[in-house]
A and B are shown apart, each in its own frame.
Chain A
Amino acid sequence: AQSVTQLDSQVPVFEEAPVELRCNYSSSVSVYLFWYVQYPNQGLQLLLKYLSGSTLVKGINGFEAEFNKSQTSFHLRKPSVHISDTAEYFCAVSGSGGYQKVTFGTGTKLQVIP
């Protein structure tokens, strides 16, 4: 079984400030990790993914995340946020085998304040 915990349901941050959205996971097997973004009334868009290799993963829109196996974390960061980053962000985990069930966290709403 696998699970994802997003510790913050809402994160307000001023424009051009840095932000970190926290994600912790649990799994009994090797995992793939993902961050998705969802804008209002839209589907999910993949920001970045960790499959293997370098633990620092860079994604779209200036976001990056670091996989920390010992702390079972995959926190999302951006050095300077824009108003357009206001959205809900979901961390997700799947097993690294052929079965692609993806387990999502409950989401973090990022509100960028002008």
Chain B
Amino acid sequence: ETGVTQSPTHLIKTRGQQVTLRCSSQSGHNTVSWYQQALGQGPQFIFQYYREEENGRGNFPPRFSGLQFPNYSSELNVNALELDDSALYLCASSLGMDRGRYEQYFGPGTRLTVT
């Protein structure tokens, strides 16, 4: 069983640029969530996708957007990058709403540095 994978591992961008981060869910998982983890902080929920629809959103501006594809892989897009966007971005997949199968599986993350 393949785990959650993310690409790229590291990324350096300039303020004002746009970036796309990618996530491949664990096989069979139809729900994906994205988190931002700033240095020394806990992960902060950005949004969640369930069967290609955004299912919930945290306190992040609209320049953070996402997509989930029919194969349940996902993208996180960030426009107009700011220095404070520098963080580790984590993707987590799960089997969905069924309480008995709630566990989220995290990928290794993408380290984004904005200069």
Interface of A is mostly: strand
Q: Which residues of A contact B102 (CB under 8 A)?
A: 32, 49, 51, 94, 100
Q: A107 to nearest B CB, angstroms? A: 5
A-B interface contact total, Cβ < 8 Å:
62
The listed residue with most B CB atoms (<10 A of its CB), out of A36, A100, A104, A106, is A100
Contact B104 A107 (CB under 8 A): no
Q: A74 to nearest B CB, angstroms? A: 15
Interface string of A71-114 (1 = CB under 8 A from B): 00000000000000000001010101011111111110000000
- Taking CB as reference atom, which chain A residue is nearest B109? A43
Using a Cβ–Cβ cut-off of 8 Å, how many residues does chain B contribute to the interface with A? Answer: 28
Given A44-B106, A45-B106, A51-B102: A102 and B45 interface contact (C-beta under 8 Å): yes
| A contact set with B: CB distance below 8 Å | 4, 32, 36, 42-46, 49, 51, 90, 92, 94, 96, 98-107
| B contact set with A: CB distance below 8 Å | 4, 31, 33, 35, 40-45, 48, 55-56, 58, 90, 92, 94, 97, 99-100, 102-109
